Structure 1
Amino acid sequence: MFDIGFWELLVIGVLALLILGPERLPGAMRSTINTIRSVRNMATGFKTEVEHQLRVHELHENLKKAEQQGLKDLSPELEESVDELKKAAESVREPYKKQ
């Protein structure tokens, strides 16, 4: 990610020790690590959401193609998408069938 070597990290560490002092340095490091962790988690969540939306869009486009072909003589990719959508629709209906 960053091209930071050992010597650069050592210089940053010494400067942080001189500026913050030994009593505040551990708290500052914990705070920095927690911030980096939360940014990574946010980025991972965003990436997951974008991938999910792209998959939904792909399924929607495949369903449109299948409907245009009249749901007959579909390519294996379109059949798989239609089957996946049918399974999703059935899983949504199941809780309501029990009532």
Structure 2
Amino acid sequence: MFDVSFSELMLIGVIALIVIGPERLPKVARTIGHLVGRAQRYVSDVKTDIQREMDLDELNNLKGQMEEAAKSVKSSMQDATDSLRAPLDEAQQALKDASASVESLVDSAKAEASDNKQDKPQERIPEPLSEPPAEAAPPAADAPAAEQDTATLPLPGFDDTSKTKTGTPT
């Protein structure tokens, strides 16, 4: 802080010894030491307070920057949400319109069908016959094998009389 050399300190000590005297010099030196210590503590406290205030200002600036960045991110997310929501709302509205048009088409088709039922007499559906027609006669036993019905041919691996598979125990 002060640029004082050893020779200058010696000169101040000699002058203090002459002015104050040898009896009171130790007491004055102790008091000056306490005062210098207090001054150093006071300067140290002031430096700490100033440093704390500077750190607090830096923290407040950093906090402000972080809040600004958070607001920026929030607004960009809101913009992105709005930009995505608009097409979804349009698609939802189009889907509702399409559903309404399909429902109106179904209602009009039902109305036309009921009008057609009332206008036309119902046609009678013929009932199925209880016996098959007698047109197809069973093949004769003496007919060649090529002309026989395939349903009456024996299956390979089956005995025709017992209807069981040959070669396997029953």
TM-score range normalised by the length of the shorter chain: 0.5 to 0.7
- Structure 1, unpaired ranges of 5+: 74-99
> What is the distance in 2 between the residues matched to 1:2 and 1:61?
36
Q: Which has the larger radius of gyration?
A: 2
- Structure 2, unpaired ranges of 5+: 74-170
Distance 1:68 1:6, change over 3 A: closer
- Number of matched pairs: 73
Q: Which runs of 4+ in 1 moved over 4 A?
A: none
Tell me by how many angstroms 1:17 deviates.
0.9
Secondary structure at 1:69's aligned position in 2? helix
Secondary structure at 1:36's aligned position in 2? helix
Partner letter of residue 65 of structure 2? K
Tell me by how many angstroms 1:72 deviates.
7.3
The corresponding residue for 1:35 is 35
Secondary structure at 2:3's aligned position in 1? coil
The structure in which a higher percent of residues are helix is 1
Instruction: Give the stretch that moved more between structures: 21-30 or 52-61.
Output: 52-61
Partner letter of residue 6 of structure 1? F
> What is the distance in 2 between the residues matched to 1:21 and 1:42?
30
Tell me by how many angstroms 1:6 deviates.
2.4
Once the two structures are aligned, what percentage of the paired residues are identical?
32
The corresponding residue for 1:25 is 25
Q: RMSD across aligned C-alpha pairs, in angstroms? A: 1.7
Secondary structure at 2:51's aligned position in 1? helix
Distance 1:28 1:62, change over 3 A: same
Instruction: Give the stretch that moved more between structures: 3-12 or 29-38.
Output: 3-12
The corresponding residue for 1:53 is 53
